[in-house]
Amino acid sequence: MSDRGHPQRADRARRSHQPLRAQWDPTAVDAGRPRPPRPERTAKKRSRVGRFVATYGWRAYALPILLVVTVLVIVDAVRDPGTAASPDSAPGFPALSNTSEGTDVIGVPPAGDGNFADSIPSGEMPDGGPFAVQGASTWRVVPGTTDQVGQGTERVFTYTVEIEDGIDTVGFGGDESFGRFVDATLSNPKSWTNDPRFAFRRVDTGDPDFRVSLTSQMTVRDVCGYDIQLEVSCYNPGIDRVVLNEPRWLRGATAFQGDIGSYRQYVVNHEVGHAIGYQAHQPCETDGGLAPIMMQQTFGTANDDIATLDPEGVVPMDGKVCRFNPWPYPRT
């Protein structure tokens, strides 16, 4: 007997062909199966905020807090951008003076009381090889010229490279090596030509604006002074001479704490800085930051050391200690 005569049996056979007895149309009413009753809802329907918290958990609380903190930091920085000096920010400069004014030696040892306290390590010269004690007090020009380096919108400085007669330069590469070092330092983008107002051009004849001169120990004392018994370099505008101390060139400075190459770059940039108009010295500006190029780093990179040598000077006794720095624009 076929199922045609039994409608209920035919309907069960048709529905048994659907997999796992799931209906093809979930909205269709299955007349053969009673629908179970819907359970009663005891919890309220979640709001949008509730669903957000349930989805993101603790992040839902952290995000608004981070947003508020970010806004506060931005507002504080805009309101007072100068309150938080970074130790890695570039140091500044003193006032620029007219280089034609005055003939006093610039960069001499601090006046103090005329004595140097042996207990203060700043300013001491390291041990090392021999140097010329007394030269002839005359200087030979090292042959060589360069093209202009820098824009020079206000001033193009000419300079010669000179070495005092009686100094033997073989131990550090010869006269030409000294000249190349000076040229390379002044042409470096971190040196003074970073300021578009300044430019340099090396000459070996005529009357230059200043003479970068490597000078013996006793001649330095004659042209720079020796009120405090420290080996120094200086700029003497009366003879237009940047006087570089040969003992320091060979041995450096204990207080500088850098390598000899960096110290030589520092002393060239510092004394040439005097020659182009930066007559005043500077203190350490930011504790842990880079020392300004016009700080007397030969005597120390700590304000207290220099203030002890020169209590009436521009450097305060404030405990700040800088890191050595051979460049006017170290962050270029």
Query: Residue ranges per domain, the chain?
Result: 52-77, 139-309
Query: Side-chain half-sphere of 301: how many Cα atoms within 13 Å?
Result: 22
- pLDDT by residue for the chain (332 residues), tens only, comes to 555 555 555 555 555 555 545 454 545 555 555 666 665 655 556 666 566 556 656 555 556 665 655 545 444 433 433 334 455 667 888 888 765 556 677 766 555 554 554 556 667 788 888 999 999 999 999 999 999 999 999 999 999 999 999 999 999 999 999 999 999 999 999 999 999 999 999 999 999 999 999 999 999 999 998 877 889 999 999 999 999 999 999 999 998 989 999 999 999 999 999 999 999 999 999 999 999 999 999 999 999 988 888 888 889 999 999 999 999 999 85
Residue 105 near residue 240 (C-beta atoms within 8 A): no
Query: What are the tokens at 128?
Result: 């090392």
By the 10 Å C-beta count (0-12 exposed, 13-18 middle, 19+ buried), 296 is classed as buried
Longest pairwise C-alpha distance within the chain: 139
pLDDT of residue 45: 61
Alpha helices in the chain (DSSP H): 7-16, 48-56, 59-79, 175-187, 217-224, 246-251, 260-275, 303-309
- Per DSSP, the residues of 75-99 read HHHHH-TTSS--TTSPP-------T
Scan for tokens 């010329």, then name that residue.
132
- Per DSSP, the residues of 111-180 read -TTS---TT--TTPPPP-S---SS--S-EEEPP-----BS--SSEEEEEEEEEETT---GGGT-HHHHHH
- CA-based nearest residue to 256, from 169, 325, 331, 317: 325
When the candidates are 3.40.50, 3.40.390, 3.30.750, 2.60.40, the CATH number that belongs to 139-309 is 3.40.390
Beta strand pairing status for 241-245 and 234-236?
Answer: antiparallel
Query: What are the tokens at 203?
Result: 């000459």
Q: What is the pTM of this model?
A: 0.72
Exposure class string for 189-210: b at 16+ Cβ within 10 A, else e: ebbbbbbeebbbbbbeeeebbb
